[in-house]
Structure 1
Amino acid sequence: MNFQAIKQTISPIIKVISIVLITSAIGLELWNIYAIANNISVPSSLNPIFWIERFAVSCHLVEAVIAAFYAPSKNKLPIQYATYTFFVGTLGLLELFERQDK
């Protein structure tokens, strides 16, 4: 099995998982903000999860900014491609920088 076949098989699965996890991370952070604003106690056992989700969201945000910056050079809409890249992560950047002369 060559690399292209593996890429075509695994890429959609990674995209779906990434979208679900980033959406869940945003929801978790919104719940944490709500809990802090309303003086609701959040279990301290969730602190490592909060740090992991913040790191993941930050990485995806940096990737989205990079995609927004480079999207016009690839004839793509910056806001649309940045949003796409934010949710799918590194795969969005790989697709953006993929060679077009296949």
Structure 2
Amino acid sequence: MNLKFIKRNIFPLVKIISTVLITSAIGLESWNIYAFLTNRNVPSSLNPIFWIERFAMTSHFIESIIAAFYAHSGKKMPIQYATYTFFVGTIGLLELFDQEND
């Protein structure tokens, strides 16, 4: 597999999956917060999923901060590109840095 094949065929699939998973993580965390505020219990079997979800959300948040910082050099709007990078993850940063090198 060469880099062009990966960019053309794999990146769009990863973007879709990442967006769905991050949106699901936001919903899962919202449910957890709602359960806490209404004094309801969330099944303890979901604790590993919550930790994975929090790790993913934290890493995507850090990536979005980096994207916002470097967006001006790629002639992008910082807030929009940070939001995009939050949902698609590392691929957003790869695209931003690839445009800088062109």
Taking the aligned partners of 1:55 and 1:3, their CA distance within structure 2 comes to 28
Once the two structures are TM-superposed, the CA of residue 2 in structure 1 deviates from its matched residue by 2.5
Deviating runs (4+, > 4 A) in structure 1? none
Aligned partner letter, 2:20: V
Give the unaligned 5+ runs of structure 2. Answer: none
* Aligned length, in residue pairs: 101
Shift of the alpha carbon at 1:5?
Answer: 1.4
Which residue identity is paired with 2:85? T
Confirm whether residue 10 of structure 1 aligns to residue 10 of structure 2.
yes
Q: Name the residue aligned to 1:62.
A: 62
Deviations 1:53-76 (A, max 9, x none): 000000000000000000011111
Q: Share of identical aligned residues, percent?
A: 69
| Structure 1 unaligned residues grouped into runs of 5+ | none
Q: Which amino acid in 1 is paired with 2:81?
A: Y
Q: By how many angstroms is 1:81 displaced?
A: 0.3
> SS state of the match for residue 40, structure 2?
coil
1:48 aligns with 2:48: yes
Over residues 23-77 of structure 1, what are the superposed CA-to-partner deviations in whole Å (9 max), with x where a residue is unaligned? 0000000000000000111111000000000000000000000000000111110
| DSSP 3-state at the match of 1:76 | coil
TM-score by length of 2: 0.95
User: In structure 2, the residue corresponding to 1:19 is in which secondary structure?
Assistant: helix
TM-score, normalising length: structure 1: 0.95
